[in-house]
Amino acid sequence: MILYVEGQDDKEEELNANLPSLVQEQEVKKQKLDAKQSFTQPPPRYTEASLVKALEEKGIGRPSTYSPTITTILERRYIEKIQKQLSPTELGRIVNNLLIENFSDIINVEFTAKMENEFDQIAEGNENWKHTIRTFYTPFEKVVEKVEKELEHVELVEEVSDVPCEKCGKMMVIKYGKYGKFLACPGYPECKNAKPLVETIEVPCPKCGAKVQIRKTKKKRNYYICENNPKSCDYISWNKPKPGEKWEEPEEKPELEETKKKTKTKRKTTAKKKTSVKGRKK
Ligand SMILES: [Zn+2]
Ligand SMILES: [Zn+2]
């Protein structure tokens, strides 16, 4: 699906921009001065709503297919939603380019709209479905066969993390799952190690200076927690720590079942308690 169509220069505008024929010494009067600076702006990214509108206008899909289409390309990580805007991922760009290069006959707006039209004709009994499908499928099958052979050489470069696999020592790679990013061992299937990807922020822990991780509650709300929590630090906050922030115990802390329990047990040991008090600078 080509979602971004490049615009063409307006030919008419170009012709009108030509200078009128003038003779030497001819006095030219100023008619109108319009000071205007214009920048070429890229078209805004589609939101779900504007994409549905564009699909409607171009005659692609049917109201019942709009939502599943967007869900599918989101789930397959071809696009991601950034503050309501739909943005292509690296994978999405690669797949899109491969499709356009190899299936230009069918990966285009006109074909899709034409096909929808033919389906309507079949539904209304004006067209024989076997004939329609055969006309499409016979050449399509050949292209698929050809491309499948060529595609064996295409390899998606996996993003390597800085986390070594604790089972086999290989550097783990970042994969995309149903619930977002996670770390997987590249030694698969020999090593099946996989674990959640822990994202850390630049700003150090306001209590102990260690790294602060971004995590999500079950309700998908972000919170910030020191990597030493619950070992030697109990920093945890809803708000992202600011650089040089002076730590004050907040009234409302994220209530997390596991962390709460663990913190309680740890606090019983004197050694840990000391570090925690020191960290608070009292
Ligand atoms: Zn491993
Ligand atoms: Zn800390």
Summarize the confidence of residues 122-135 as an average pLDDT.
91
Ligand nearest to the CA of 233: 2
Q: Tell me which residue of 240, 235, 188, 189 sits closest to 214, measured CA to CA.
A: 240
Considering the domain architecture, whether residues 65 and 132 belong to the same structural domain is answered as: yes
Alpha-carbon span 98 to 280, nearest angstrom:
56
CATH number, residue 105: 1.10.460.10
CA of 227 to the centre of ligand 2 (A): 7
Residue 233's nearest CA partner among 282, 272, 281 is 272
CA–CA distance, 52 with 54 (Å, rounded to integer): 5
Average pLDDT, integer, range 168-197: 85
- How far is ligand 1, taken at its centre, from the CA of residue 186, in Å? 7
Q: What is the DSSP string of 68-90?
A: HHHHHHHHTTSEEEETTEEEE-H
Ligand with smallest separation from the Cα of 204:
2
Under DSSP, the state recorded for 196 is E
- Residues 40-59 have a mean pLDDT of 88
Distance 161 CA to ligand 1 centre (A): 13
Please state the rounded mean pLDDT for residues 258-265: 46
The verdict on residue 68 lying in a domain is: yes
The CA 127 to ligand 2 mean position distance, Å, reads 70
Q: Report CA(222)–ligand 2 centroid distance (Å).
A: 17
Q: How far is the CA of 160 from the centre of ligand 1 (A)?
A: 13
171 CA to centre of ligand 2 in angstroms: 26
Q: How far apart are CA 86 and CA 44, in angstroms?
A: 10
Q: Between residues 195 and 180, which one has the greater pLDDT? A: 195
Query: Could you tell me the residue range of the domain that residue 187 belongs to?
Result: 159-196
The answer for residues whose C-beta is within 8 angstroms of residue 170's C-beta and 6 or more apart is: 164, 185, 186, 187, 191
Gap from CA of 228 to ligand 2 centroid (Å): 6
Instruction: With respect to residue 18, please indicate whether it lies within any of the assigned structural domains.
Output: no
Distance between CA atoms of residues 183 and 125, nearest Å: 52
Q: Which ligand is nearest to the CA of 191?
A: 1
DSSP assigned state of 251: S
* 48 pLDDT more than 90: yes
236 beta partners = 225
3-class secondary-structure state, position 67: helix
The pLDDT > 90 percentage for the chain reads: 23
The answer to whether position 37 is within a domain reads no
Q: What is the pLDDT of residue 269?
A: 41
* pLDDT at 211 (0 to 100): 92
269 and 204 fall within a common domain: yes
Task: Please tell me the number of the ligand nearest to residue 234's CA.
Answer: 2
Q: Identify whether 100 is part of a domain.
A: yes
Ligand 1 centroid to 6 CA: how many Å? Answer: 45
Minimum-distance ligand to the CA of 172?
A: 1
Per the prediction, the chain carries an average pLDDT of 78
Residue 124: band (very low, low, confident or very high) from pLDDT cuts 50, 70, 90: very high
Is pLDDT above 50 for 278?
no
For residue 271, name the pLDDT band (cuts at 50, 70, 90).
very low
pTM of the predicted protein model: 0.45
Nearest ligand atom owner, CA of 165? 1
Whether 258 and 214 share a structural domain: yes
Type of residue at 267: R
Residues 220-252: pLDDT tens digits?
A: 778 899 999 989 999 999 988 888 877 777 667
The count of C-alpha atoms lying within 13 angstroms of the C-alpha of 41, restricted to the half-sphere facing its C-beta, is: 5
> Average pLDDT, stretch 129-158?
82
> Quick one: 90 and 129 in the same domain?
yes
Ranges assigned E (strand) in 89-245: 159-164, 171-177, 180-184, 194-196, 199-201, 212-216, 222-226, 236-237
Number of domains in the chain: 3
* 214 in the same domain as 166: no
Shared domain check, 143 and 174: no
Ligand nearest to the CA of 280: 2
